[in-house]
Amino acid sequence: MTYIAESLNIQSHPDGDATTLVVVGEVDLATASQLRDAALNALNGAAGGLHLDLTGVTFMDSTGIHVLVATRRRAELLGRAVTLEASRRVQRTLTLCGVAKLFPVRPSTGGGCPRNLVPPNRPAAWKRSDASGGQVHHDVGALHDVDTGPLSGGPAA
């Protein structure tokens, strides 16, 4: 099942008795309800836990944090666990908000989010590959590598 909002793409993948949600794009006031609905559907439909792959999340505000905490609370009531695989950007947001300790978070290994999955409503120029094969995204005037964070000195050579 795939949920698509203005700038969010969520794909649900069964993983044994658990479910993995691959989330790509921005999790904010406009899109958090789609993540909430997908997470609740996954928890209700799987006998096991929920793994959230947030390696493709480019932005998360307080509404996204609220969805993660509420999802964790719901999973606990059901006797299930929620685990995260997160980009450095999301890890930093979780840490700054003081909720990182609530989730088993493993850093992105580059193997989570499919490399060709780009948030909808983005121009093709938004994504390109650099010489090393990594994806570089243009994000509000700054270049960021999906796996390693901000690029200093402009585009990768």
Burial class (CB in 10 A: 0-12, 13-18, 19+), 139: middle
Specify the pLDDT at position 154: 39
Specify the pLDDT at position 47: 78
Delineate the domains of the chain, giving CATH numbers in brackets.
2-121 (3.30.750.24), 123-157 (no CATH)
Specify the pLDDT at position 45: 82
Contact 127, 120 (CB under 8 A): no
pLDDT in tens, the chain (157 residues): 555 545 899 999 988 888 999 999 999 999 999 999 999 999 988 778 899 999 999 999 999 999 999 999 999 999 999 999 998 889 999 999 999 999 887 655 554 444 444 444 443 333 433 444 444 333 333 333 344 444 334 344 3
Specify the pLDDT at position 17: 84
Specify the pLDDT at position 7: 81
Specify the pLDDT at position 6: 56
Q: Can you read off the two tokens belonging to residue 140?
A: 């509000």
